Amino acid sequence: MKFGIYRLDGVDDEFLLSELERELGVSIAIRSVYRAWNRCAIEDDLEWFASLAKSPRDVLLTWEPWKIPSAAAHPEDQPDFSLQQILSGRYDSYVRDVARTLAALPVKVHLRPLHEMNGNWYPWCGTVNGNTPAELVPVWHHLRNLFMEEHAAEIEWVWSPYVSSYPDCPENEFSAYYPGDDAVGMIGLDGYNWGNEKEWGRWQSFSDLFSEAYRKVTGLGSKAVIVTETASAEGGGDKSAWIGDMFDQLTTGYPRIEALFWFDIDKECDWRLHSSGTVLDLFRDRAARLFGAPR
């Protein structure tokens, strides 16, 4: 099984990645990065895309069709980035530019567009911003076809819902969004243990989060599964025990999971693996056995 990590800084620097491997005691096979469409101008992206070539490691690129809001109460309300607007061809020139740029990179790119589409917090989610769940699959095929026309067939497409649907209703089920095995390279799942650090949160084990979602996605298609985002908060339980249980579950209960990405930043909660010495020590003690030791 492979290990990947998201951090705000350092994933494009091979020296810093090697230092992080030694700190965590684990081999980092894949770097997780995020890029918003924003102005939909390739000249804004070229330097950033070029930075991905500074390390030879694979990249998981979460590609987000929105303009990152500075302080919006409802960031999902962006009509310019509705699913219908994407399907209309409005952004085709930009999508083609990105396809050609990514195809030229000397690293393997796992492309994750339209992630967490079964939530209600992004402009491309199926139940907000004037969208319907039925529009997501045509948009997926439209984007992928543009990449194929630009000879970017080596890009691996990662389809990635959140482990729970919001709203939780039949029309927002995972199955409404799956484009089919012929248009997906890997299936991803995002899920976080928020603990009690938010008023709506509760402590959830790894299996509380992932077991039912894993059952559903493995029933949709035959592709390998990866945990594209996960982490645990500190409040409400024992974070080091949560990580230990995660390792136990990955070893015994999820045979189709081939990679896991840790969301290693202090954002809504302190998700980091070094949020405490106890947490870091536990991770270091277990990680190499599952993911491999540093190179």
CATH number of the domain residue 54 falls in? 3.20.20.80
Q: Is the pLDDT score of 133 beyond 90?
A: yes
Domain hosting residue 133, numbered range: 2-291
Q: What is the pLDDT of residue 193?
A: 98
* Three-class DSSP category at 148: helix
The percent of residues in the chain predicted with pLDDT above 90, rounded, is 93
Average pLDDT over every residue of 263-280: 95
**The whole model's pTM is what?**
0.96
Average pLDDT of the residues of the chain: 96
Candidates 47, 64, 7; CA nearest to 31 is 7
Indicate whether 72 pLDDT > 80. Answer: no
- Confidence class of residue 241 from pLDDT cuts 50, 70 and 90? very high
- Read off the pLDDT band of 197 (50, 70, 90): confident
pLDDT in tens, 28-40: 999 999 999 999 9
**What is the bridge-based pairing of β-strands 257-263 and 225-232?**
parallel
- Contact of 180 with 202, CB cutoff 8 Å: no
Half-sphere exposure in the Cβ direction for 206 (13 Å, CA): 23
Measured over the CA atoms of residue 18, residue 261, residue 108 and residue 8, the dihedral's sign is: negative
Total domains in the chain come to 1
